[in-house]
């Protein structure tokens, strides 16, 4: 019995140390580094094409659907371009006037959360707007960083590095046409 316990402890210890990087001094740092490598690999495996208009983006899609986009953009942001991911998702990127922060609007036939943002925030809620229901939002400190929703088989998301007030976010969402 003692031999089995010692063997189990030795196996656990060897697995623990085998998963860590002595230079990193932490298993968590090694896990974070591996997650970054996976993310970089996934992004490099995605086919991303740039378009300069909604019409150009629509041509790059493998399946046709009406690409809707917001007409109200938070103050200080300007559209940069359209990006088509893997022929089934359109992203519009906006940059603030100082080029420090970006805002992303995505639409796709993919199911689920298409935001690409898996950061754990301190606040989560479900909002409704004048045009859309069940808008799932995540954020912190009275600003929303991510909003996702679905309507008529199309998924939508808005992500903002700086965060948006609820009023600014809902104004942007309600302007989508």
Task: State whether 21 and 103 are in the same domain.
Answer: no
Rounded CA separation 141/118 (Å): 18
CA distance linking residue 65 with residue 165, whole number of Å: 30
Which pLDDT value is given to residue 2? Answer: 53
> Which bin fits 134, alpha (ψ -120 to 50), beta or left (φ > 0)?
left
Same domain, 95 and 121: yes
Domain that holds residue 16: 2-45
Report which DSSP code applies to 176.
-
Banded model confidence at residue 141, pLDDT cuts 50, 70, 90: confident
Residues 106 and 144 placed together within one structural domain of the fold: yes
Specify the number of domains making up the chain: 2
Do 24 and 102 belong together in one domain? no
Shared domain for 29 and 52, answered yes or no, is no
Note whether 34 and 118 are same-domain residues.
Answer: no
Residues 27 and 105 in one domain: no
Confidence of residue 43 (pLDDT cuts 50, 70, 90): low
Q: Tell me, yes or no, whether 113 and 69 share the same domain.
A: yes
Q: Quick one: 86 and 41 in the same domain? A: no
Q: Does residue 72 share a domain with residue 37?
A: no
Structure confidence by residue, pLDDT tens digits, 148-162: 999 999 999 999 999
Q: Please, which pLDDT band fits residue 23 given cuts at 50, 70 and 90?
A: very low
Specify whether the backbone of 88 is left (phi greater than 0), alpha (psi in -120 to 50) or beta. Answer: alpha
């Amino acid at each position: 019995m003692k031999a089995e316990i010692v063997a189990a402890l030795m196996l656990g210890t060897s697995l623990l140390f085998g998963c860590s990087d002595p230079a990193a001094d932490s298993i968590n740092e090694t896990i974070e580094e591996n997650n970054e490598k996976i993310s970089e690999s996934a992004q490099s495996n995605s086919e991303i094409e740039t378009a300069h208009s909604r019409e150009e983006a629509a041509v790059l899609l493998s399946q046709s659907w009406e690409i809707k986009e917001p007409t109200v953009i938070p103050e200080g942001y300007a559209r940069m371009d359209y990006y088509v991911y893997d022929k089934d998702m359109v992203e519009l990127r906006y940059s603030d006037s100082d080029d420090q922060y970006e805002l992303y609007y995505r639409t796709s036939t993919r199911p689920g959360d298409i935001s690409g943002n898996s950061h754990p925030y301190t606040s989560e809620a479900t909002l409704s707007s004048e045009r859309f229901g069940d808008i799932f939002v995540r954020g912190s400190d009275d600003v929303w960083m991510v909003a996702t929703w679905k309507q008529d088989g199309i998924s939508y998301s808005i992500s903002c590095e700086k965060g948006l007030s609820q009023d600014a976010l809902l104004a942007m969402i309600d302007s989508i046409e």
